[in-house]
């Protein structure tokens, strides 16, 4: 089935009792697109993600995944890595991946084939017979990644897939994701996402990283290599400022982290 917009979220509200977690969320994810949700702790990101894969139901509004409301059939066609989730420690690496393939409805042959492929692709071959409880945090995440991809999913949902990992393991997971999901190198959401949503209960801002940067920033960051100093220069003054520099320099827009802090400050 060829669906151009695999995820459509229309006017979604989510309450926990009287507490409002998501307020009138409207969002779309197009085919082949990588979309990131950014927001502080308690902004409702996980709540929204849980509604997309069907663990929670919206209090109001509608979510369509692969053309229909989330149901068990649709769930078999998606892959999910959850925040703070671990594979079954009492099963081997191979069994975890294989059984997830079976749960996702793959026949025996296809489940075996995909398991073998992912063991190689994710460099898990040497650990295939190990109990996952004996693996490091990074390797457990790799197993979860294999479990999420074993059914050749049409949509992949990652909820903080590197949470709790040390920097090395974090980089390893992102590199694997880059290799598996995109054709270009990445190690941060800034490079990963085609589109970003800033979320703090409601959507505050959306757009592609470059768009957000140009829309939001009114100044440039200029690093003067001859003096080693960093300057923040207003847009209308940048040409004049650069003309005054003598050595090598770098001009860039503030990164997403800086914009994120400003957006959240003003929200």
Partner 1 sequence: MDLKTIKAYIPSILFFSLFFPFGLLIMLGSVASAEFSTYVVVGTITFYISVSLINSVAQSIGAEREYGRFSLMISSGIPVQLYALAIAFSNGLQTILVSPIIILSGDLFLRIKPDCIPLLAITLILSIFLGSMIGEALAFAIKNIYAINEYSNILSFTLAFFAPVYYPPCSVPMPFRYLTFLEPTTYISRAIYYSYVGMPKEALIWDLGIVIFTLVLIILINYLHKRS
What does residue 112 show for φ and ψ, rounded to 5 degrees? Answer: -65, -45
Select the residue interacting with partner 1 from 105, 137, 138, 207 (CB under 8 A): 105
Contact indicator for 222, 251 with CB cutoff of 8 Å:
yes
| Residue 86 near partner 1 by CB under 8 A | yes
When the beta carbons of 90 and 123 are compared against partner 1, the nearer one is: 90
Token pair, residue 235, equals: 């847009």
Query: What spatial distance separates the first Cα and last Cα of the chain, rounded to whole Å?
Result: 40
Strand partners of residue 251? 222
| Residue 142 near partner 1 by CB under 8 A | no
Select the residue interacting with partner 1 from 76, 113, 234, 252 (CB under 8 A): 76
Q: Which stretch binds partner 1 (CB under 8 A): 101-109, 110-118, 178-186, 242-250?
A: 101-109
Contact indicator for 33, 79 with CB cutoff of 8 Å:
no
Select the residue interacting with partner 1 from 14, 50, 141, 142 (CB under 8 A): 50
Q: Which stretch binds partner 1 (CB under 8 A): 67-75, 115-123, 165-173, 200-208?
A: 67-75
| Residue 263 near partner 1 by CB under 8 A | no
Contact indicator for 15, 21 with CB cutoff of 8 Å:
yes
When the beta carbons of 62 and 134 are compared against partner 1, the nearer one is: 134
Tell me, by CB under 8 A, how many residues bind partner 1.
31
| Residue 223 near partner 1 by CB under 8 A | no
| Residue 131 near partner 1 by CB under 8 A | yes
| Residue 156 near partner 1 by CB under 8 A | no
| Residue 91 near partner 1 by CB under 8 A | yes
| Residue 72 near partner 1 by CB under 8 A | yes
Say how far apart CA 165 and CA 81 lie, in whole Å: 14
Contact indicator for 151, 114 with CB cutoff of 8 Å:
yes
Q: Which stretch binds partner 1 (CB under 8 A): 100-108, 187-195, 216-224, 229-237?
A: 100-108
| Residue 137 near partner 1 by CB under 8 A | no
| Residue 54 near partner 1 by CB under 8 A | yes
Say how far apart CA 154 and CA 99 lie, in whole Å: 19
CB within 8 Å of 240: residues ≥ 6 apart: none
Token pair, residue 157, equals: 């949902």
| Residue 136 near partner 1 by CB under 8 A | no
Helix, strand, coil % in the chain, rounded to nearest 5: 40, 25, 35
| Residue 100 near partner 1 by CB under 8 A | yes
CB within 8 Å of 173: residues ≥ 6 apart: 138, 141, 142, 145, 161, 162, 165
**Which residues sit at the interface with partner 1, rule CB under 8 A?**
50, 53-55, 72-76, 78, 80, 82-91, 95, 99-100, 102-105, 131, 147, 157
């Amino acid at each position: 089935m060829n669906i151009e917009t695999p995820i459509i979220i229309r006017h979604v509200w989510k309450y926990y009792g009287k507490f409002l977690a998501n307020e009138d969320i409207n969002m779309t994810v197009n085919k082949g697109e990588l979309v990131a949700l950014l927001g502080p702790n308690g902004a409702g990101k996980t709540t929204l993600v849980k509604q997309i894969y069907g663990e929670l139901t919206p209090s109001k509004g509608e979510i369509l995944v692969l053309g229909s409301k989330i149901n068990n059939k649709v769930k078999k066609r998606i892959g999910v890595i959850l925040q703070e989730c671990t594979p079954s420690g009492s099963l081997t690496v191979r069994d975890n991946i294989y059984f997830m393939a079976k749960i996702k409805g793959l026949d025996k042959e296809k489940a075996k084939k995909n398991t073998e492929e992912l063991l190689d692709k994710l460099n898990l071959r040497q650990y295939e017979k190990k109990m996952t409880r004996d693996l490091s945090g990074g390797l457990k995440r790799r197993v979860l990644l294999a479990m999420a991809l074993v059914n050749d999913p049409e949509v992949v949902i990652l909820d903080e897939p590197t949470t709790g990992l040390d920097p090395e393991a974090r980089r390893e997971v992102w590199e694997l994701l880059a290799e598996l999901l995109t054709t270009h190198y990445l190690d941060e959401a800034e490079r990963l996402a085609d589109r970003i949503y800033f979320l703090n209960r409601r959507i505050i801002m959306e757009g592609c990283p470059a768009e957000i940067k140009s829309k939001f920033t009114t100044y440039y960051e200029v690093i003067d290599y001859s003096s080693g100093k960093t300057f923040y220069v207003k847009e209308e003054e940048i040409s004049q400022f650069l003309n005054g520099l003598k050595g090598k320099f770098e001009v860039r827009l503030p990164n997403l982290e800086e914009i994120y802090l400003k957006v959240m400050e003003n929200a």
